[in-house]
Amino acid sequence: EAGVVQSPRYKIIEKKQPVAFWCNPISGHNTLYWYRQNLGQGPELLIRYENEEAVDDSQLPKDRFSAERLKGVDSTLKIQPAELGDSAVYLCASSLSTEAFFGQGTRLTVV
Amino acid sequence: GQNIDQPTEMTATEGAIVQINCTYQTSGFNGLFWYQQHAGEAPTFLSYNVLDGLEEKGRFSSFLSRSKGYSYLLLKELQMKDSASYLCASYSNYNFNKFYFGSGTKLNVKP
């Protein structure tokens, strides 16, 4: 069974440019999470979906970040415009019950 | 509030036993997870405790005391491949189900 798939693995952009990340969760997993992980830190939740509904986006910086999960399967996370402080690893995770399964993440570098 | 504390870094010798502690303060606490994360890789699930006591799974064991807000991960017969970061995460069903991650404990296993 395929795990959580994310793309791209790495992205380097200049500040003020837009960027998008894509996530394909494990088949049948209703819950999808986007996390941001800074170097030497634990993941921090950005947004959580139950099917296509964003049930917790309290930590998402809505002035520049947006996310969608059309049809309750794949999801995209967008940053526009990116800032230097957005450099981090963006992790997607999915779950069926309690345990979350993580993708390998997208390492974003903003220069 | 939500607060997860774990040591930043630990060093142990191949073949030895190491215990990684985690304390938490989590509203709506509903379980404690341990994840392993190798550098540049996704966190992978190790264990889940929701009731007090010890859960054993091969060389890894995890303990939980809900009354003390305390957990530990015990790694036996350490191998070089166990060098990784170990993330403690509390699961809360308060204000939307979510994980709260600690900053991780970087374990260095030496020959």
**How many residues does the structure list for chain B?**
111
What does the block give as tokens for A3?
């795990």
Q: What is the dihedral of CA A92, A26, B95, B29, to 10 degrees?
A: -100
CA B84 to chain centre: 12
Mean pLDDT of A67-91: 95
Q: How far apart are CA B35 and CA A97, in angstroms?
A: 16
**Mutate: best of B96, B100, B105, B106, partner A, most A CBs <10 A:** B96
Mean pLDDT of A39-53: 93
Burial-class residue B79 by CB neighbours within 10 Å (0-12, 13-18, 19+).
Answer: exposed
Instruction: Count Cβ atoms below 10 Å from residue A16 Cβ, excluding itself.
Output: 10
Instruction: Give A-chain residues touching B105 at CB under 8 angstroms.
Output: none
Whether the pLDDT of residue A101 is over 60: the answer is: yes
pLDDT at A43: 94
**Are the beta carbons of A104 and B42 separated by less than 8 Å?**
yes
CA distance to A21, B35, B46, B54, B74, per residue, from B58 (Å)? 36, 15, 11, 13, 11
Whether the pLDDT of residue B94 is over 80: the answer is: no
Q: How far apart are CA B27 and CA B98, in angstroms?
A: 11
What does the block give as tokens for B22?
């985690």
Instruction: Give B-chain residues touching A105 at CB under 8 angstroms.
Output: 42
Whether chain A has a CB inside 8 Å of the CB on B28: the answer is: no
Question: Scanning the structure block, which residue is given the tokens 């500040």?
Answer: A15
Q: How far apart are CA B107 and CA B12, in angstroms?
A: 7
pLDDT in tens, B56-92: 999 999 999 999 999 999 999 999 999 999 999 998 8
Give me the residue from B4, B48, B95 closest to A99, CB to CB: B48
**Are the beta carbons of B43 and A41 separated by less than 8 Å?**
no
Mean pLDDT of A53-62: 91
pLDDT in tens, B18-62: 999 999 998 888 899 999 999 989 999 999 999 999 999 999 999
What does the block give as tokens for A76?
């995209």
**Are the beta carbons of B42 and A103 separated by less than 8 Å?**
yes
